[in-house]
Amino acid sequence: MDELDVSLLRGTLDLLILKSLSWGPLHGYAVAEWIGQATGMLRVGEGTLYPALHRLERQGLVEAEWGLSENNRTAKFYRLSRTGRRRFSSASTSWHDFVEAASRALRAGPPVPV
Amino acid sequence: MDELDVSLLRGTLDLLILKSLSWGPLHGYAVAEWIGQATGMLRVGEGTLYPALHRLERQGLVEAEWGLSENNRTAKFYRLSRTGRRRFSSASTSWHDFVEAASRALRAGPPVPV
DNA sequence: TGGCTTCCCATTGCGTCACAAGGGGAGAAG
DNA sequence: CTTCTCCCCTTGTGACGCAATGGGAAGCCA
- Single pTM value for the model: 0.91
Q: Which of residues 54-73 of A touch strand C (CB under 7 A)?
A: 55, 71-73
pLDDT digits (tens, 9 = 90+) for A7-26: 566 789 999 999 999 999 99
How high is the pLDDT of residue B55? Answer: 96
Q: Does A7 touch chain B (CB under 8 A)?
A: yes
- Is 60 exceeded by the pLDDT of residue A111? yes
Q: Does B40 touch chain A (CB under 8 A)?
A: yes
Contact yes or no for A111 and B41 at CB 8 A: no
How high is the pLDDT of residue B1? Answer: 27
A28 CB less than 7 Å from any atom of strand D:
yes
How high is the pLDDT of residue B4? Answer: 34
Determine the 3-state secondary structure of B65 from DSSP.
Answer: strand
Point out the residues of chain B with pLDDT beneath 70.
Answer: 1-8, 112-114
- Cα gap B30→B36, rounded to integer Å: 10
Contact yes or no for B105 and A33 at CB 8 A: no
- Cα gap A24→A28, rounded to integer Å: 13
pLDDT digits (tens, 9 = 90+) for A31-76: 999 999 999 989 999 999 999 999 999 999 999 999 999 999 999 9
Please, are residues B12 and A100 in contact by the beta-carbon 8 Å criterion?
Answer: no
User: How close does chain B come to A42, measured CA to CA in Å?
Assistant: 8
Report H helices in chain A: 13-20, 28-39, 46-58, 82-107
How high is the pLDDT of residue B10? Answer: 77
First-to-last C-alpha distance (Å) of chain A = 43
- Cα gap B11→B8, rounded to integer Å: 8
